[in-house]
Amino acid sequence: MRMIWRRGRHWGIDRAAGALLWMLAGCSSTAPSSGTDAAADATTDQRCNAIELTGSAITPTCVTGSLPVGSGGTIVDGTYDVTAQTYYNLDTGCPDFQVRETWVLSGNSLEAASLNPLPITRSGTFAVAGDTFKVTTTCIHLDQEGQTLTTVASNGTTYSATPTSITLFTDDSGDAGANLGVAKTLTRR
């Protein structure tokens, strides 16, 4: 799941990595934007996990051209920090805010915290099949009064994994066919 904000205006959230977002980026996921889990988070102001941001902030980049497709691989358990985020073919301008994300992966469990630019925590599970990466979100919490989360359809997420990194490639083209997407790289500590 990925959130895009600019100068306080919401541009959109897509299922990602969110998924591993995820925002918590760039993945195909199911995230509660309403219902009991989201309502409980909103009314109790509780984080989904105790993950703390550990990596350095990065500034996203924007390019034109075709979004790469992942090649799959073995995802190694550990703590990962976002080290690169590249948007493909944005027509609304490149985001100028900094992004920080930390993910903790163990088995098929995923917990994440992000600041892009609002603080978000999430928890869930992930599954891989071939080069496809899918997140199922069980909790998502946006720590900002008056803000809501909205999901935008994603055509899916592929990934490439090495022993020290994961790169997620999320196709956000929808029916527009504009080859919109995002590539997010997380590096294991």
Convert the pLDDT of each residue in 109-155 to its tens digit: 999 999 977 889 999 999 999 999 999 999 988 877 655 555 555 66
**Per-residue pLDDT at 30 exceeds 50:** no
**In the prediction, which pLDDT does 118 show?**
84
Q: What percent of the chain has pLDDT over 90?
A: 52
83 contacts: CB under 8 Å, gap ≥ 6: 55, 58, 165, 185, 186, 187
Whole-structure pTM value: 0.74
Yes or no: say if 103 and 20 are a contact pair by the CB < 8 Å rule. yes
Phi, psi of 44 (to 5 degrees): -100, -10
How far is 123 from 74, CA to CA, in rounded Å?
21
Q: Per-residue pLDDT tens for 61-72?
A: 999 999 999 999
Please list the alpha-helical segments (H only) found in 10-86.
Answer: 36-44
**Domain 2-188 indexed as CATH 2.60.40.10:** no
Average pLDDT over residues 74-103: 93
The pLDDT > 70 percentage for the chain reads: 68
**Confidence (pLDDT) at 117:** 76
Place of tokens 């219902």: 35
Residues 176-185 pLDDT 10s:
667 789 999 9
Dihedral of alpha carbons 129, 53, 60, 21, sign: positive
